[in-house]
Amino acid sequence: MDRDEREDKKAILQEPRQEQAVEAFLNGCNCAQAVFSTYADLFGIDRQTAMNMTNSMGGGISRLREVCGTVSALALLTGLAEGDVDPQDLKAREKVYQRTRELLAKFEEENGSLVCRELLGILGREKAARPSERTPEYYKKRPCAKFVACAARIVEEELLQLS
């Protein structure tokens, strides 16, 4: 993303969207949806499409507790911001892979892992695909809002360079 594009994004983002991402999570979006849908419009993706694209990524990919949904959203946004559409351009692909690794390393450094079950202290995969009911008790025992905020901050400060 060049300087002019960053300035355009700054104009659109009058205030940081981190709080919007956390609010989306607290209002029932899964972790991936909360992060991805908050920034998707900056890349010409409407909210409904963004929600559909990331619906299966919550809970560490459909509650398998693998890669954290916020991390998946961060990787998708990196591809949108810095990716290349030429499948033969391996240098461009290497560049976006490297950039994604750098951003994910920031998340991992701050949170200790990229893996949902490790972040949540869960042993093994969830057996049920059914999402947990979103109750006040759910939000009290799940630190996911913190991970949503972290991924959103990385998007703004590092990927979009809005700080």
Name the least confident of 28-37, 50-59, 126-135: 126-135
How do residues 79-91 score in pLDDT, each as one tens digit? 999 988 899 999 9
160 burial type by CB count under 10 A (0-12 exposed, 13-18 middle, 19+ buried)? buried
Q: pTM score, two decimals? A: 0.88
Q: Residues 51-90, buried b or exposed e (16+ Cβ, 10 A)? A: bebbeebbbbbbbebbbbbbbbbbbbbbebbbbeeeeeee
Query: What region does 86 belong to: left with phi over 0, alpha with psi -120 to 50, or beta?
Result: beta
What is the average pLDDT across 115-127? 91
Which pLDDT value is given to residue 61?
Answer: 96
Query: What range defines the domain where residue 103 resides?
Result: 3-159
How do residues 34-73 score in pLDDT, each as one tens digit? 999 999 999 999 999 999 999 999 999 999 999 999 999 9
On the question of pLDDT at 15 being above 90, the answer is no
Name the least confident of 11-25, 36-50, 71-85, 104-118: 11-25
**In the beta sheet, which residues pair with residue 67?**
115
On the question of pLDDT at 161 being above 70, the answer is yes
In single-letter form, the type of residue at position 133 comes to E
Domain count, the chain: 1
Which pLDDT value is given to residue 16?
Answer: 77
